[in-house]
Amino acid sequence: MSFPPKYLARIIAVVSLSSLLAACGNDGNSNGSSSVAGAANSSASSSLIKVNQLGFLPESSKLAVVPDVPATSFKLLKAGTAIEVFSGTLSAAKVWDASRESVKVADFSSVKTPGDYQLHVDGLANSHVFSIAPDVYNALNAASIKAFYFNRSGVELLPEFAGKFARPLGHADTQVLIHPSAASDARPSGTVVSSPKGWYDAGDYNKYIVNSGISTYTLLAAYEHFPEIFNNQNLTIPESGNALPDLLDETLWNLEWMLTMQDPNDGGVYHKLTNENFDGTIMPHEALRERYLVQKTTAATLDFAAVMATASRVFAPYETQLPGLSAKMRKAAESAWEWANIHPAIVYKQPSDVRTGEYGDKTLSDEFAWAAAELYITTRVDGYYTALKPVDVFNSVPSWGNVNGLAWVSLAHHRAQLTNVADQTLIASRIKTLADNLLSTWYASPYKVSMEKHDFVWGSNSGALNQAMMLVQAYRLNGKRDYLDAAQAQLDYVLGRNATDTSFVTGFGEKSTLHPHHRPSEADGIPEPIPGFIAGGPQPGQQDKADCKAVYPSSVAAKSYLDNYCSYASNEIAINWNAPLVYVSAAIAALTPK
């Protein structure tokens, strides 16, 4: 049998996609296929069928977005063939103001037979190849966690765990200096302290408590909510095979660092461990600048308290393996909470000699609420619930600077174990109100997503996934199928059903992010990026324009994405963007009916 060249390319892609899935399922070390779809410019991407390039579970809702062509129907074909397995009617065209495109939707949810497929619409190129398979997100979930291992500070990545991405130890951080902004009587400026381990924040090599807070919590929540997904998962990390699930081992790497960021003399927590300036495009072991602990802040201290309270309950069952750890974390959370109550408004102020990420945040009521909620759940002390001021705390899609939602996520999950002081009706209604807002956007959305134009800010892909996380909470509370389908839509969005026709996860999908702003991926001399990282995503700010010789293909919100290393404003990776990918890929796998 002979195939036209277009189909041959698709067949090659299917083979490499399948081998990627198989390999990542075993060791998570493999790297994905490179793009076979060719570079798309803005207008080219508008004339393409957009679909989740990885694919769907048999029982998932399955949608694709189709440009506004005269055709009124679509076909689902066996990949690489003209064999039709399903045909359906396209929806009426609508304009999405976020991408300024007129699009129709193809719904093929009723197709449940595992296999590799492509969509066909007369007048358009066939879609990327995607799968329907019961394990379609297993390798994605594993790789999205393994990405944290690849971003570990303070350890050599050995070939047996990192494969071709092995690298020498970088940033031991056993001798860092107290910065003048953090000086105290007990630890004057220039005091040497040890603060090893942890994950690099993003494409840079600094470590920031505020962003570590939401990231670490999201991984712990994934474990608390869906332990069955992680209990037997093998990520091929150094700790694999010990008594802890690999996800918890990986999370512990960062928790151990976070513990060192608390001043033992008063309970306050340093905002960040950082260089004065961002490093150049070099490998971790080549980055040898002096490192500092900078200013204790209320936000960092409260985020720390929330995470340590959460970790204390998650690690409690491992007393034999990790004696005293759970109690130590609880004490750390309590002393951080006390410090924050004595210093309720210390906002981060970037010292004049420091130029790295700020994670500055002037609104601290949400950090107070989140820390209080986690301390309440862990200690069952009613005073923390009262301190949370639940009636005044609304629910919102979480981000590093807005953590109200995390309090409601935890309260909802633990609702059956709360003391009488907790208002169960309020908890349920907070979850439902937010999810219903997202749902009504999803119902009306031309792209069938809950993203709107104003959601396209720096790290927009994490916004998409955090919306999904909040939809998932409502589904877990009342089982209404639309919440799950709307969450699935957000996963579809980051995996290719978006206006750039890109799967934003490195190594996953026929046309995936290839050049993330990630120093190791750029400096390691290996053509492809380290797999499992999600790029920040489109946003019209283009704050990196002056640093980019390459030109953005579009300035329209949902299309303002540049797959180039220079683009830290649209193509960086970050731990708080990967964490909801871990959560959502696990949630969809766990919750979708089998």
- Pick from 357, 520, 553, 580: which binds ligand G3I (CB under 6 A)? 357
- In the numeric block, which tokens belong to residue 560? 């303002």
Least Å from the CB of residue 569 to ligand 9MR? 7
Burial class (CB in 10 A: 0-12, 13-18, 19+), 527: exposed
The length of the chain in residues reads 594
Least Å from the CB of residue 551 to ligand 9MR? 17
Least Å from the CB of residue 274 to ligand G3I? 9
The rounded distance, in Å, linking the Cα atoms of 50 and 52 is 7
The rounded distance, in Å, linking the Cα atoms of 184 and 248 is 34
The rounded distance, in Å, linking the Cα atoms of 212 and 550 is 31
Of 33 and 153, nearer to ligand G3I (C-beta) is 153
Which of ligand G3I, ligand 9MR, none lies near 457, with the C-beta cut-off 5 to 8 A by kind?
Answer: ligand G3I
Site track 566-585 with ligand G3I (rule: CB under 6 A), x = hit: --x---x-x-----------
Q: Which of 204, 263, 367, 522 is catalytic?
A: 204
Is residue 204 among the annotated active site residues? yes
Least Å from the CB of residue 399 to ligand G3I? 6
Least Å from the CB of residue 277 to ligand 9MR? 8
Which residues between 348 and 377 bind ligand 9MR (CB under 6 A)?
Answer: 357
Q: Establish if 278 lies at the interface with ligand 9MR (CB under 6 A).
A: yes
- Pick from 322, 347, 457, 590: which binds ligand G3I (CB under 6 A)? 457
The rounded distance, in Å, linking the Cα atoms of 22 and 589 is 17
Handedness of CA 468, 126, 512, 552 (dihedral sign): negative
Size, binding site for ligand 9MR by CB under 6 A: 8
Is residue 518 among the annotated active site residues? no
Least Å from the CB of residue 6 to ligand 9MR? 38
Is residue 563 among the annotated active site residues? yes
Nearest to residue 40, comparing CAs of 533, 568, 535, 502?
502
Least Å from the CB of residue 455 to ligand 9MR? 19
Question: Which range in 9-17, 67-75, 202-210, 469-477 contacts ligand 9MR by CB under 6 A?
Answer: 202-210
Report the chain's terminal Cα–Cα distance, integer Å: 36
Side chain identity at residue 87, one-letter code: S
Alpha helices in 499-553 (DSSP H): 519-523
Contact criterion met (CB below 8 Å) for 291 and 205: no
Which residues between 563 and 592 bind ligand 9MR (CB under 6 A)?
Answer: 568, 572
Nearest to residue 405, comparing CAs of 414, 394, 415?
394
Question: Which range in 66-74, 198-206, 441-449, 480-488 contacts ligand 9MR by CB under 6 A?
Answer: 198-206
Cβ-closest position to ligand G3I: 357
Q: Establish if 516 lies at the interface with ligand 9MR (CB under 6 A).
A: no
Which of ligand G3I, ligand 9MR, none lies near 547, with the C-beta cut-off 5 to 8 A by kind?
Answer: ligand 9MR
Neighbours of 26 (CB within 10 A): 12
Which of ligand G3I, ligand 9MR, none lies near 458, with the C-beta cut-off 5 to 8 A by kind?
Answer: ligand G3I
User: Residue 128 has what DSSP assignment?
Assistant: P
- In the numeric block, which tokens belong to residue 349? 């102020």
Nearest to residue 494, comparing CAs of 554, 555, 584, 574?
584
Contact criterion met (CB below 8 Å) for 48 and 125: yes
SS3 53: coil
Q: Which residues contact 89 (CB under 8 A, 6 or more apart)?
A: 72, 73, 74
Helix and strand counts by DSSP (H, E) for the chain? 18, 13
Is residue 515 among the annotated active site residues? no
Neighbours of 543 (CB within 10 A): 12
Q: Which of 517, 518, 528, 544 is catalytic?
A: 517
The rounded distance, in Å, linking the Cα atoms of 319 and 316 is 6
Which residues between 526 and 565 bind ligand G3I (CB under 6 A)?
Answer: 541, 543
Which of ligand 9MR, ligand G3I, none lies near 459, with the C-beta cut-off 5 to 8 A by kind?
Answer: ligand G3I
Least Å from the CB of residue 309 to ligand G3I? 24
Which residues between 195 and 254 bind ligand G3I (CB under 6 A)?
Answer: 201-202, 204
Judged by the rule CB under 6 A, the positions of this chain that interact with ligand 9MR are 202-204, 278, 357, 547, 568, 572
Judged by the rule CB under 6 A, the positions of this chain that interact with ligand G3I are 201-202, 204, 357-358, 457-459, 541, 543, 568, 572, 574
Q: What residues are annotated to the active site?
A: 204, 517, 563, 572
